[in-house]
Amino acid sequence: MKLFRNIIIPLAVCAVLFPSSLLARDTTACRQYIRKYKNLAIQEMERSGIPASIILAQGILESDCGRSLLAVEAKNHFGIKCHGWEGDTISMDDDAPGECFRKYKSVSQSYRDHSDFLIGRERYKQLFSIATDDYAGWAKGLQNCGYATDPNYAKRIISIIEKEKLYRFDSKETVPVDIVAGRPLFEDGDESLCKLSLDRPVFFRDGAPYIVASEIDTYGSIAKEYGLFVCELLHYNGLKKVPVKIREGTEIFIGKRKK
């Protein structure tokens, strides 16, 4: 199956480029991918207007949850070919041997370029009139605009979003405060992000993730939720012993601060 020009690798081609089946993604790997890159997708949603659910679902589909050769070797999570690219490149077989793909210095650069790719092309202009919380409309719009040749592309994107409940990230309530302030959320390759819960917003300050405690939280429950020892949690928050009670609204760091 041929790619249409100047676009991202369609599903059928991905199955050739990437050894692991896109139809049988490992659930654990997929959810680790979501934990690691959900805030980056939210950041791009705030910047570009593309739903975070769509960004994440496409990243999962196109990169096989970050495990494809292109994602590993070139940090290219959306399969974008060179076409006018002035940065680093990598050659891989696709429609023809040794085709040129964009190579990024970081995953965040790949995410940003994906947004710019859609923003900067006239064929996708109509997508930006669709509401951010209408992930089905976006998925169908991408297919109608010729994003991929796979006739089931929209269904695959919608299936991923609904299976993993990615639509929860399209709400502004999930936007970390550091995004609003325009500061970087995290550094690429921070494996500690794989521990982050999918069930509540995670914010960043001083290079570390933190959550806002509810009235029912305890240091024991938070440690269990994020795969930490209680002593680690206390250390991250500058405490020597476990407080009797956590006040609702208390900021609890779940990672080591740089400052």
Q: Which pLDDT tens digit goes with each residue over 116-144?
A: 999 999 999 999 999 999 999 999 999 99
Q: Which pLDDT tens digit goes with each residue over 38-93?
A: 888 988 998 999 999 999 999 999 999 999 999 999 999 998 889 889 999 999 88
Looking at the structure, give the CATH architecture of the domain made up of residues 180-253. Roll (3.10)
β-pairing, 99-102 vs 203-205, is: unpaired
Q: Which pLDDT tens digit goes with each residue over 184-223?
A: 444 444 555 555 555 677 788 888 888 888 877 888 888 8
Residue type, 117: F
CA 159 → CA 27, 37, 128, 140, distances in Å? 14, 19, 22, 12
Write down the pLDDT at residue 204: 83
pTM over 0.75: no
- Domain positions in the chain are 11-174, 180-253
How far is it, in rounded angstroms, from Cα 39 to Cα 229?
Answer: 24
Q: Which pLDDT tens digit goes with each residue over 231-249?
A: 889 999 999 888 778 888 8
Write down the pLDDT at residue 16: 36
Q: Is the pLDDT of residue 14 over 70?
A: no
Closest among 117, 104, 9 to 63, alpha carbons compared: 9
How far is it, in rounded angstroms, from Cα 107 to Cα 83?
Answer: 19
Q: Average pLDDT, stretch 21-47?
A: 77
Q: Which CATH number fits domain 11-174: 1.20.1560.10, 1.10.3720.10, 3.60.10.10, 1.10.530.10?
A: 1.10.530.10
Q: Which residue has the tokens 């999930």?
A: 174
How far is it, in rounded angstroms, from Cα 216 to Cα 200?
Answer: 14
Please state the length of the chain.
259
**Rounded to the nearest 10 degrees, what angle do helices 52-63 and 135-144 cross at?**
50
Task: List the structure tokens of 20.
Answer: 């692991």
Task: List the structure tokens of 21.
Answer: 């089946």
Report yes or no: 102 and 113 within 8 Å, Cβ to Cβ: yes
DSSP H or E run through 99: strand 99-102
